[in-house]
Amino acid sequence: MTFDAIGIASTGMTVHRKWLDAVSDNLANVNNASSTDGAAFQARYVVATAMSYGEPAGAQVAGIELGSAEGRLVHEPDHPLADEEGYVRYPDVDMSSQMTQLIMAQRGYQASAAVVDRARESYQSALQIGRN
């Protein structure tokens, strides 16, 4: 199996887009409250691995790991989901870590997108052989 530069770059874009998806899912659920007898929203973490079939073949998502289901207990007696002692469960999503990951995923995506552009230039120059 041979992989071209554009195909390899697209695997990088896919991995980073999935990471973006995971981060936005985590951020969207950052304030999901649940009752203390239920599980909190678990943060999604993308696990990336390198693909290789003798030749370089890009990156892939090997799986999604879930964060803590325990979350953190917050004292909010007025909350409709609060237990007798007045606690509700919030997900253990670290906002600053998520924002950092958001930027890393975005930059990684952009880097692979730029590779596609440069590979296209090379292919076009190859198409010019014998034209004149």
Partner 1 sequence: MFDSVTSVAMKSALDALSLRQRVIADNIANVNTPGFLAGRVQFEDALANAVRTGGDGGIEATIERSLEPTRENGNNVNLDTETLSNIDANLRYQVATRSIDGGFTAIRTAIRSA
The Cα angle at residue 17 between residues 16 and 21, in degrees rounded to 5: 115
Residue from 1, 15, 44, 96 in contact with partner 1 (CB under 8 A): 15
Shorter beta-carbon distance to partner 1: residue 75 or 107: 107
Rounded to an integer, what distance in angstroms lies between the CA atom of residue 97 and that of residue 121? 37
Q: Tell me how crowded residue 21 is: count the other CB atoms within 10 A of its CB.
A: 13
Handedness of CA 79, 82, 84, 90 (dihedral sign): negative
Are the CB atoms for 86 and 36 separated by under 8 Å?
no
Residue 99 is a binding residue for partner 1 (CB under 8 A):
no
Residue 53 is a binding residue for partner 1 (CB under 8 A):
no
Contacts with partner 1 by CB under 8 A: the residue count is: 39
Residues that bind partner 1 (CB under 8 A): 3-6, 8-9, 11-13, 15-16, 19, 48-50, 55-59, 104-105, 107-108, 111-112, 114-115, 118-119, 121-122, 125-126, 128-132
